[in-house]
Amino acid sequence: MVTDLPDAVHPGARVVIVAAMSSGQGKTTVTAALARRLLNMGKRVRVFKCGPDFVDPVMLESACGTPVHNLDLWMVGRDECLRRLRDAAREADAILVEGVMGLYDGSPSAADLSREFGIPVLAVLDASAMAQTAGAVAQGLRDYGPVQMAGVIANRVASPGHAAMVKDSLRDIPLLGTLPRQEHKLPERHLGLVLPGEVEELHQILDALADSIDFDEAAWDALPVMAPSTDEPAPPEPLLAGRLIAIARDPSFVFVYPANIDLLKAMGARITYFAPLSDEAVPEDADAVYLPGGYPELHGPALEKAAQWRASIRAAHARGVPIVAECGGMMALADGLTDSQGKRWEMAGLLPGEVAMQKRLSGLGPHAMPTPTGEVRGHTFHYSLLQTDVVPESHTVKQKTGAQGEAVYKVGSLTASYFHGYFPSNPRAAAAMFGGGK
């Protein structure tokens, strides 16, 4: 899929998958720093995230200045992944795809994406506790699949001498760059990195990281180029034409695929936003409400005090307005939420039951939700449990095993689940959830 022809003949973008041997190597930091470095060099940059992830894309969007979409051969689909890559190549000089976990972890993995489209891998190695062994790791990452290796970025390098030892060990694999040990790193919490708005002086940190990369521009310029697309995709049916969808958006409701919003708009919906944490009411003229996931467990006091928000969502439910609540959105609609300190907070009370945070992960992985028009693909990732007497309308199906997954609850006009749906996997089913396509 990637061609190594001159830009004058085949204009497009140089594209790499930024991957590693495991989580914790610094993939997001390196991807963000490299995106900012390329931007500062005057290049147009697009960034994608491999797999079903919300938090990393928000941080990466701050680094590159454009929305960060997900690429996943199962959830997004092969053809849609290729379309998004080729569309990006039409408007960008550089495309970075951050991998997920380790290069070969998961099914599909970042390595599967690399091989499917011929995208070379830029391996991030945490060199803080190794030197010449870096070469063995890099060669193993390349040869195990195998995958095409664009090169290595050595992270947390101690000195120029240390960098030289790493470079010599790589043999025929280029060292595209090194990044020193960082004084400031992006903080994390139980669902991943914290959100950009919570990090003071984020852009100064990103610029400092970009400036600290010892970057081999010639090696970058030698990478192959992906040709851009020439065809425009057919628009989806206008199944939501004229409908106003109110979407909760604040630090408590922040986990949403950008592709979901794009699809709702493409199907004709008008989008408006409101902030429950600021006690903003659901707009009275809304035809549907979307409550994405997020961190309600971190904002129990504010959500309990938001009397206007709680009354307005109950009123919308009483009017029969379709409400779609995913994970954190569902948690905010239970009777109560007990946080990790054991403190209980009153929630909106549309879904009878109690939510309690757990110390260990309660759900993780790709799932599919059955609907009358076929499955909606997506994933689940949560640290809380819901105790309720409501009988589920259905359950999702785990992609890897086919076993029963997350409960899907229907209470009047409310559809609620821990499941995060990727709406473009089934536009007609997505439209139906918001009262469209009837």
Residue 191 is predicted with a pLDDT of: 40
Q: Quick one: tokens of 31? A: 């991807």
Residue 190 is predicted with a pLDDT of: 40
- Give the predicted TM-score (pTM) of the model: 0.92
- The predicted-structure confidence for 63-81, as pLDDT tens digits, reads as follows 899 999 999 999 999 999 9
Distance between CA atoms of residues 12 and 43, nearest Å: 12
Q: Return all residues near 281 (Cβ < 8 A) that are at least 6 apart.
A: 274, 308, 309, 311, 312
In 3D space, the residue among 321, 275, 281, 266 whose CA is nearest the CA of residue 433 turns out to be: 321
- Which residue would you say has higher pLDDT here, 99 or 361? 99
56, pLDDT greater than 80: yes
- The predicted-structure confidence for 271-298, as pLDDT tens digits, reads as follows 999 999 999 999 999 999 999 999 999 9
pLDDT tier for residue 62 given thresholds of 50, 70 and 90: confident
- The predicted-structure confidence for 83-112, as pLDDT tens digits, reads as follows 999 999 999 999 999 999 999 999 999 999
pLDDT tier for residue 4 given thresholds of 50, 70 and 90: very low
Q: DSSP class of residue 181?
A: P
pLDDT tier for residue 204 given thresholds of 50, 70 and 90: confident
Q: Return all residues near 169 (Cβ < 8 A) that are at least 6 apart.
A: 131, 132, 133, 134, 135, 136
Residue 312 is predicted with a pLDDT of: 98
Taking residues 147-164, report their average pLDDT: 96
Share of the chain above pLDDT 70, in %: 93
pLDDT tier for residue 358 given thresholds of 50, 70 and 90: very high
Domains and CATH numbers, the chain: 2-226 (3.40.50.300), 244-433 (3.40.50.880)
Distance between CA atoms of residues 294 and 302, nearest Å: 14
192, pLDDT greater than 80: no
257, pLDDT greater than 50: yes
Q: Quick one: tokens of 58? A: 């928000």
Distance between CA atoms of residues 353 and 333, nearest Å: 9
pLDDT tier for residue 423 given thresholds of 50, 70 and 90: very high
- The predicted-structure confidence for 385-416, as pLDDT tens digits, reads as follows 999 999 999 999 999 899 999 999 999 999 99
Residue 273: Cβ-neighbour burial (10 angstroms; 0-12, 13-18, 19+): middle
* Mean pLDDT, the chain, whole residue set: 92
Say if residues 215 and 39 touch (Cβ distance below 8 Å): no
Backbone angles phi, psi at 8, to 5 degrees: -65, -25
- Enclosing H/E stretch for 324: strand 323-326
Say if residues 424 and 312 touch (Cβ distance below 8 Å): no
Distance between CA atoms of residues 118 and 16, nearest Å: 10
pLDDT tier for residue 7 given thresholds of 50, 70 and 90: very low
In 3D space, the residue among 344, 348, 318 whose CA is nearest the CA of residue 332 turns out to be: 348
Distance between CA atoms of residues 17 and 206, nearest Å: 20
Question: Could you list the active site residues?
Answer: 327
